[in-house]
Amino acid sequence: MGEWISIQETYWTVCWAWIFPYPCRKTRTVRRWCINFDWVKETRYFLYCYVEGCAQGRRYAYGAFCFNLIGTAWFYNIRLCYSSEKSPSGTCG
């Protein structure tokens, strides 16, 4: 199952030097709920992705916003982290 952990997250923002804005990267510590998946199948529809995966015999499936090409991608032994908990939708079969 998943667990809550603290991770370092890097993001882009606008910084200021006197009155001049410029793009800069900053880092912050955030709490994320992470799952170690045995496999993940990501079906991409340009701006929408359907994700399903198996972790410790439990199946997770959800839709998400993405910006990818159309197609399917498989990932094995991957850790994914989320801002909120994901509930299993059954068992892997």
Per residue in 29-68, pLDDT tens? 999 999 999 999 999 988 899 999 999 999 999 998 888 7
Question: In this structure, are residues 32 and 7 in contact, taking their beta carbons and an 8 Å threshold?
Answer: yes
| 81's tokens | 């982290």
For residues 69 and 59, what is the distance between their CA atoms, to the nearest angstrom? 25
For residues 93 and 59, what is the distance between their CA atoms, to the nearest angstrom? 8
Handedness of CA 59, 62, 67, 68 (dihedral sign): positive
pLDDT value of position 62: 92
pTM listed for this prediction: 0.75
User: pLDDT confidence of 16, banded at 50, 70, 90?
Assistant: very high
38 dihedral zone (left: phi>0; alpha: psi -120 to 50; beta): alpha
Q: Kindly state the DSSP code that residue 19 receives in the 8-state scheme.
A: T
